[in-house]
Amino acid sequence: MEINGVYIEDTFAEAFPIWVSRVLITASTKKWAKIAATEATGFGCSVIMCPAEAGIEKYVPPSKTPDGRPGFIIQICHPKKSELEHQMLERLGQCVLTCPTTAIFDAMGDMAEEQLKVGFKLKFFGDGYEKKDELYGRKVYRIPIMGGEFITEAKFGIKKGVAGGNFFIMADTNATALIAAEAAVNAISSVEGVITPFPGGVVASGSKVGASNPKYKFMVATTNHKMCPTLKNVVEDSEIPEDVNGVYEIVIDGIDEESVKEAMKQGILAATRVPGVKKITAGNYGGKLGKYQIKLHELFE
């Protein structure tokens, strides 16, 4: 299959269930909402070594937020529900409550499968000076702080979402692959319900499970040597085509399979618009590990 002249491999992305929370952070200005959202979602690329997977989903203008202020929706995700609550308490309590003029509201709404009492737990910081209240039709706590009052909704909905949607961009040079990856992330950022948790949304270092080197058997994951351009003529099982010298991966988490699929579709379309992109493929484990198999060709039917 070809799209915009780029070969799309007939393969699938293998993805996994993950618990997803969706939090709206508002602030006096877009700038401070962005600062809080960025801090709260940092160090959140992959649960392989980060304490959570997290990212900014989208900007919400004042006319669409409960308190009429600019905001950003973030997602914090974790395979374990208890650990997700822990991460929400730490990230919202340390990176948003501390950030000037912010407030937090549930953004999962009716999609929620369960409710976590995150606001209820954060409110103890108020030392008894906090107030329970109802604002904008939501049950909130108002916690007195130096910057005024921190408003937090009492409960935050979570649901089972999808982690690890992905595709690989292969191009004539590293720089072409990088520009195409950036274009793909730009496109995905306008898709509802998804995040790209890696730095700038891009993964430069794909990994395989375990190690092939017998001395490194203690490693849980090592470089995906088949996808390394500098090993193209070194390893026998290289999957780098002759005309490819740059590869980047885009990883997507989302609230459901549909949103992850849409993100993959829009991201791939954008990447194929960059001259010099040669091939799009996806990462999987032969279908053995993940619950979801998202076929690239089906995205474009």
Span 209-268, contacts to a copy of itself by CB under 8 A: 211-213, 215-216, 218-219, 221-225, 227-231, 234-235, 246-249, 266
Site string for a copy of itself, 5-24 (x = CB under 8 A): --------------------
Q: Which residues of 40-59 are buried (b: 16+ CB within 10 A; e: fewer)?
A: bbeebbbbeebebbbbbbbe
For the segment 43-102, give every residue that binds a copy of itself (CB under 8 A).
Answer: 43-46, 48-51, 61-63, 67-70, 89-91, 93-102
Site string for a copy of itself, 275-294 (x = CB under 8 A): xx------------------
**Residue in 15, 108, 269, 294 binding a copy of itself, rule: CB under 8 A:** 269
The contacts of residue 103 (CB under 8 Å, 6+ apart) are: 25, 26, 27, 67, 69, 150, 151, 152
**Residue in 13, 18, 84, 187 binding a copy of itself, rule: CB under 8 A:** 187
Radius of gyration of the chain (CA): 21
The answer to whether 25 and 103 have CB atoms below 8 angstroms apart is: yes
Nearer to a copy of itself, 112 or 130 (CB): 130
Question: Any idea what DSSP says for residue 101?
Answer: T
**Residue in 7, 16, 28, 83 binding a copy of itself, rule: CB under 8 A:** 28
E strands present in the chain? 2-3, 6-8, 12-26, 53-60, 71-78, 103-106, 114-116, 131-135, 138-145, 148-153, 156-171, 194-195, 202-203, 207-209, 221-223, 246-254, 277-281, 292-295
Question: Any idea what DSSP says for residue 216?
Answer: G
**Window of 9-17, 152-160, 196-204, 286-294 that interacts with a copy of itself by CB under 8 A:** 196-204
**Window of 9-17, 123-131, 154-162, 286-294 that interacts with a copy of itself by CB under 8 A:** 123-131
Nearer to a copy of itself, 113 or 192 (CB): 192
Question: Any idea what DSSP says for residue 210?
Answer: B
For the segment 131-150, give every residue that binds a copy of itself (CB under 8 A).
Answer: 143-150
**Residue in 83, 172, 256, 257 binding a copy of itself, rule: CB under 8 A:** 172
3-class DSSP assignment, residue 183: helix
The answer to whether 96 and 145 have CB atoms below 8 angstroms apart is: no
Nearest approach in angstroms of CB 276 to a copy of itself is 5
**Residue in 73, 140, 202, 252 binding a copy of itself, rule: CB under 8 A:** 202
Nearer to a copy of itself, 113 or 213 (CB): 213
Binding flag, residue 39, a copy of itself (CB under 8 A): yes
Residue type, 267: G
Nearest approach in angstroms of CB 113 to a copy of itself is 25
Nearest approach in angstroms of CB 76 to a copy of itself is 10
Residue 193, phi then psi, degrees to nearest 5: 90, 5
